[in-house]
Structure 1
Amino acid sequence: MSDKGQIPTNLRLFVLVEYIAAQGLPQSPNALSIALGLPKPTIHRLLATAEDEGLLQRDIDGRSFGPGTRLRKLAAHTLSSQRLRTERLLVMKSLAEEVGETCNLAAPGRSMMVYLDRVETHWPLRIQLPVGTQVPFHCTASGKMYLSSLRSDKFRRLLEMLPREKMTGRTIVNADRLADEMSMIRERGFSTDNQEFMDGMAAIAVPIRDDSGRLLTTLSLHAPVQRKSVAALSESYEVLKNAASQLEDLLT
């Protein structure tokens, strides 16, 4: 980043958006003014432009700003560039072949997880969740892994905003029970879905983190329970974790 107050006029919007994305938390105009060394009127003008263009959006408090839809799409498209995607699919294909089940890469959206990539198992009996599918946070392995990465206060705020539909008889919708599960996920390093999103489907997920330790995406395995239970999938944790580590290396 340029020295404070020395950011060229034509780069100020880019630097502002870049800074907000790098922080991992919504930023207030006052904090941005101090961090970037730009006058508050300039910051407000840049934020208004970025918000109008969908690059940024206001957080729950109505004052702070975080990544918007357009910026998240840009990030997803960048991750899907041909070279990176080819290498990524090789890692996922190796994982799917070793475990014998479908694997998915998903990223958190504003209110749901979004499937970015997928490698199918060779079995004719499989769960169809194509790229672009959006699934809930509270009852999927990938979604719960994301929730477990949030600070407890942000986790609670998000739960209050989101509908927690009971998708199956096993879906957990109680906030306290979900909070207890988040603690368990953080302790053991992986999340599970034991027919909570869809009857007959089990899943396990691990995080893919950036070099600052923040969750970017999740890597998961899915299987029909007729073939593998959650307990059976959990035995593949180390293999899944190693694949996630390889995917993290592609980001550096």
Structure 2
Amino acid sequence: MSRSVEHVKEWSTVPQHRTHGGPHRSMAVTSWCLAQPQRTSSGKPWSQMSELPLPPHGPRSRPAPRTAAPGATSESESPATDSKLVSSVDNALTVLLLFKSRKVLRVSDVAGHLGVARSTAHRLLTSLTQRGFAAQEPVTRAYIPGPELMEVGLAVVDMLDIRGRARPYMAALAQELQETVSLVVLEGANIRFLDTIESSHILRVSSRTGQILPAHCVSGGKALLSALSRDAINDLYPVEELPTLTSRSISTKSTLFQALDVVRERGYATNQEESEPDVTAVAVVLPTADSPSAAITVAAPTSRVGSVEALGATVQRIIADTRSKKEPKTL
């Protein structure tokens, strides 16, 4: 080891009290170290080296990132994180409920109601605004219900309105046929059951209110699909193969197009054990002044349905008779 390196090492190992003795002594040590020519182990000054030598075992690599042990829970999936997420969702829903009783909301209102800091309340309102569930007035800077929140409310009202308009038809069908009658709406390539009047028979098709099924497998779905254009159906079903529920379900888009042509010709759709065994159903589109938005189905055990064509004709007659009466005044 060269003398300059030895001197640096000697001064660097001076006990703490020697280097901390005062500002003059520490400055002297620093100045002396900087003044000495720094040399390598070969005796050459560092300034004459074209590049710094590498360590004997190659360049130092960064330590590999730590991985969680198998079965271990990461920090992002910890119960504490889940609890924070649930709390945030609960706070957001609470803010939306405040719009029921207040026309406008301010940051201080939300902070006081939730018991959180104003900064937290502001972030919450900003997130709702970005999603369209709240909007900020340009002058007062207060928050009002956003367009998305209004759309959700209108959609719910519209569904309730559909149920109200469909009830006279459903009641007439249930009374005469004594079978289960349901109201369905189209949701993408599926249908959702909105309302049901269940049959009084011991052996009957039970209520499916709230259930979602593939539209091409049920009568109500096919009735609604028949009102769509070919391009719209292609958008809903981009591939030829379709999922099935039973061995009798429509399994290809080509077969679906053929079935929809029959529905348009007849004026009603059928389901002959295509959604579940021993269940037969007939459906017609709910009569409305605007575009079809819902369908009414009559479902029964297959053993009680003598002819699906006769059932379809009877359903059409009851719908027409009910429409001609004064009960559904809005139609």
Q: Scaled by the length of structure 2, what TM-score is found?
A: 0.50
- Do residues 174 (structure 1) and 252 (structure 2) align? yes
- Do residues 98 (structure 1) and 176 (structure 2) align? yes
Report how far residue 232 of structure 1 moved: 4.4
Change (3 A) 1:159 1:97: same
- Do residues 77 (structure 1) and 157 (structure 2) align? yes
Change (3 A) 1:162 1:244: farther
Aligned to 2:131: 52
Structure 2 segments unaligned to the other structure (5+ residues): 1-127, 134-147
Checking the alignment, whether the CA contact within 8 Å between 1:102 and 1:223 is kept in structure 2 is yes
The structure with higher relative contact order (CA 8 Å, sep 6+) is 1
Report how far residue 224 of structure 1 moved: 0.6
Checking the alignment, whether the CA contact within 8 Å between 1:108 and 1:217 is kept in structure 2 is yes
Report how far residue 73 of structure 1 moved: 6.7
- Do residues 227 (structure 1) and 304 (structure 2) align? yes
CA distance in 2 between counterparts of 1:249 and 1:225 reads: 31
Q: Mark the structure with the bigger radius of gyration.
A: 2
Aligned to 1:65: none
Checking the alignment, whether the CA contact within 8 Å between 2:272 and 2:279 is kept in structure 1 is yes
- Do residues 135 (structure 1) and 206 (structure 2) align? no
Change (3 A) 1:221 1:170: same
**Please, which moves more after superposition, 232-241 or 222-231?**
232-241
CA distance in 1 between counterparts of 2:150 and 2:309 reads: 39
Report how far residue 233 of structure 1 moved: 2.2
Aligned to 2:98: none
SS across alignment from 2:264: helix
Matched residue type, 1:219 = I
Checking the alignment, whether the CA contact within 8 Å between 2:219 and 2:297 is kept in structure 1 is yes
From 292, 296, 307, the counterpart of 1:215: 292
Matched residue type, 2:281 = A
SS across alignment from 1:114: strand
Aligned-residue sequence identity (percent) comes to 24
CA distance in 2 between counterparts of 1:106 and 1:91 reads: 13
Aligned to 1:149: 227
Q: Deviations over 1:5-63 (max 9, x none)?
A: xxxxxxxxxxxxxxxxxxxxxxxxxxxxxxxxxxxxxxxxxxxx999348xxxxxxxxx
CA distance in 2 between counterparts of 1:178 and 1:117 reads: 26
Change (3 A) 1:193 1:71: farther
Checking the alignment, whether the CA contact within 8 Å between 2:165 and 2:328 is kept in structure 1 is no
Aligned to 2:269: 191
Report how far residue 129 of structure 1 moved: 3.4
Change (3 A) 1:164 1:71: farther
Structure 1 segments unaligned to the other structure (5+ residues): 1-48, 55-67
Aligned to 2:199: 121
**Please, which moves more after superposition, 113-122 or 89-98?**
89-98
**Please, which moves more after superposition, 137-146 or 120-129?**
120-129
Q: Deviations over 1:113-166 (max 9, x none)?
A: 111111111101112233111121111001111111110111122112698322
Report how far residue 199 of structure 1 moved: 0.7
CA distance in 2 between counterparts of 1:71 and 1:77 reads: 10
CA distance in 2 between counterparts of 1:51 and 1:209 reads: 39
**Please, which moves more after superposition, 182-191 or 105-114?**
105-114
Change (3 A) 1:169 1:208: same
Q: Scaled by the length of structure 1, what TM-score is found?
A: 0.64
CA distance in 2 between counterparts of 1:250 and 1:113 reads: 27
CA distance in 2 between counterparts of 1:250 and 1:50 reads: 40
Change (3 A) 1:106 1:190: same
Matched residue type, 2:155 = A
